[in-house]
Amino acid sequence: MTFQVNLMDYVDYVYMSNVKGDPYIPIWGPMKRDEFNNLLLQTKLLLPPMCGYTDYPYRKVLAQFGGKILCTEMIKAKALLMGTEQTLQMLMRAEDGAYTGVQLFGADPQIMAEAAIKCQDMGFSFVDINLGCPARKVMKKKEGGALLKDLPQIKKILQAVRKAISIPLTIKTRLGFKRDEFTALPLAQMAKEIGIDAMTIHARSIEQKYLGTPEWEKISEISATVKMPIIANGGICNGAIAKQVLHQTGAVAVMPGRSILANPWLIEEILHHLQGTPRGRPRTIQTIKEIATEHFSIMAQFYDERTACLNMRRFLSFYFKGFRGVATFRKKLPSMNTQSDFLFLLEQIEENHCREAK
Ligand SMILES: Cc1cc2nc3c(=O)[nH]c(=O)nc-3n(C[C@H](O)[C@H](O)[C@H](O)COP(=O)(O)O)c2cc1C
């Protein structure tokens, strides 16, 4: 199957056919709010939005490993409404056996609401609002994490979007802007009143970016104070930790982040732990080779061979992280331009690893 279609046609098709009630709309489309809640309680696992990573091909990989609730990377609401090619590509999807939400970012309530309506009309399952991105270019415009300094503005955005859509609406945030601030607690109270369906909390501050031990006790405090579904995020890197965090914080679900980029099959492990049947798949160089090869082939079908190579350069660094004898392959990534370069590189990584492991 090839996905190389004209993006505008694709979006118009999904948009129009949804409006007309076309029977070919994916069955895994829009969700009712209570359906989302039930699924969350049942699977206890949400897959993360990851800028530059959770595009359609990678979400398909995540779905193959059992991910049931997936999210696009963060998408600028204004760009979505303008229909820029890059944005429309981020919105591409097809039937993949999972519910997919769109994560929006922006600070203008009206634009956010209009973009959310577009996502709903396109058949996405839910909308998530980014209130935690620490990237300078996002915060400079008072969007993402910068909004944690302005709760009244967040209120306007959430009210406008809630009013605009009937599908589930979630938010993803951090504990506070600075380490000693705890804005997530009043934010949770406000979100509950507005009718937000769930809140993901990355248990670090904006200033901490991705470093430092996650402060789980603060998530426990929020879960104990505010009766709304909380999803715990930050530092979840295996099934046992996922289970412990769920137990310790009273959150209803967990969201692993960077660990999923290195181990998409961690999804299976986490699901098994959370269902009380702990088991994991050993992370071997051969398993990673297989996953990377499958991932590459989905990317090449979806984009083209060259784009698949460019994107796979980023993923390979995560996939082979921590293996002996693979450090030298990084130098070769810039010259990986074709599928045969990619396959040859995988062979070399494996040979090198086996030689050094002896
Ligand atoms: C490369 C990268 C891209 C990310 N992109 C997004 C994003 O688009 N939206 C978002 O809410 N969080 C984003 N995050 C944050 C993650 O979703 C997650 O909250 C964070 O990595 C903490 O979890 P971890 O400690 O398990 O990695 C990103 C993180 C990384 C490392």
> pLDDT of 131-190, one tens digit each?
999 999 999 999 999 999 999 999 999 999 999 999 999 999 999 999 999 999 999 999
Q: What range defines the domain where residue 134 resides?
A: 7-274
Residue 30 placed within a domain: yes
Query: Do 119 and 67 fall within a single domain?
Result: yes
Q: Contact, 163 vs 113, CB < 8 A? A: yes
Going from the Cα of 31 to the center of ligand 1, the distance in angstroms, rounded, reads: 24
Residue tagged active-site, from 71, 119, 133, 309: 133
Query: Do 17 and 143 fall within a single domain?
Result: yes
Question: Residue with structure tokens 């040979």?
Answer: 351
Residue 17 placed within a domain: yes
Going from the Cα of 109 to the center of ligand 1, the distance in angstroms, rounded, reads: 23
pLDDT at 322: 86
| Residue 104 confidence (pLDDT) above 60 | yes
Query: Do 113 and 202 fall within a single domain?
Result: yes
> pLDDT of 215-267, one tens digit each?
999 999 999 999 999 999 999 999 999 999 999 999 999 999 999 998 898 99
Query: Do 194 and 324 fall within a single domain?
Result: no
Query: Do 255 and 336 fall within a single domain?
Result: no
Q: What is the mean pLDDT of residues 79-102?
A: 85
End-to-end CA distance of the chain: 42
Could you give the percent of the chain with pLDDT greater than 90? 73
Q: Contact, 296 vs 324, CB < 8 A? A: no
Residue 2 placed within a domain: no
Q: Contact, 178 vs 212, CB < 8 A? A: no
Interatomic CA distance for residues 296 and 305, integer angstroms: 9
Of 274, 295, 315, the last residue of a domain is: 274
Q: What is the mean pLDDT of residues 331-335?
A: 90
Going from the Cα of 330 to the center of ligand 1, the distance in angstroms, rounded, reads: 23
Query: Do 42 and 176 fall within a single domain?
Result: yes
pTM above 0.75, yes or no: yes
CA 110 to chain centroid: 24
Query: Do 270 and 289 fall within a single domain?
Result: no
**Active-site residue 133, yes or no?**
yes
Residue 118 placed within a domain: yes
Residue 1 placed within a domain: no
State the alpha helices, DSSP H only, in 183-284. 184-194, 216-225, 239-249, 258-262, 266-274
Query: Do 158 and 296 fall within a single domain?
Result: no
Query: Do 117 and 196 fall within a single domain?
Result: yes
Decide whether any atom of ligand 1 lies within 6 Å of the 172 Cβ: yes
> pLDDT of 9-65, one tens digit each?
445 444 444 433 433 334 467 899 999 999 999 999 999 999 999 999 999 999 989
Query: Do 291 and 269 fall within a single domain?
Result: no
Q: What's the structural domain count of the chain?
A: 2
Residue 140 placed within a domain: yes
Amino acid at 83: G
pLDDT at 89: 86
Sheet holding 169-174, edge to edge: 69-76, 99-105, 126-131, 169-174, 198-202, 230-233, 253-255
Query: Do 249 and 306 fall within a single domain?
Result: no
pLDDT at 8: 47
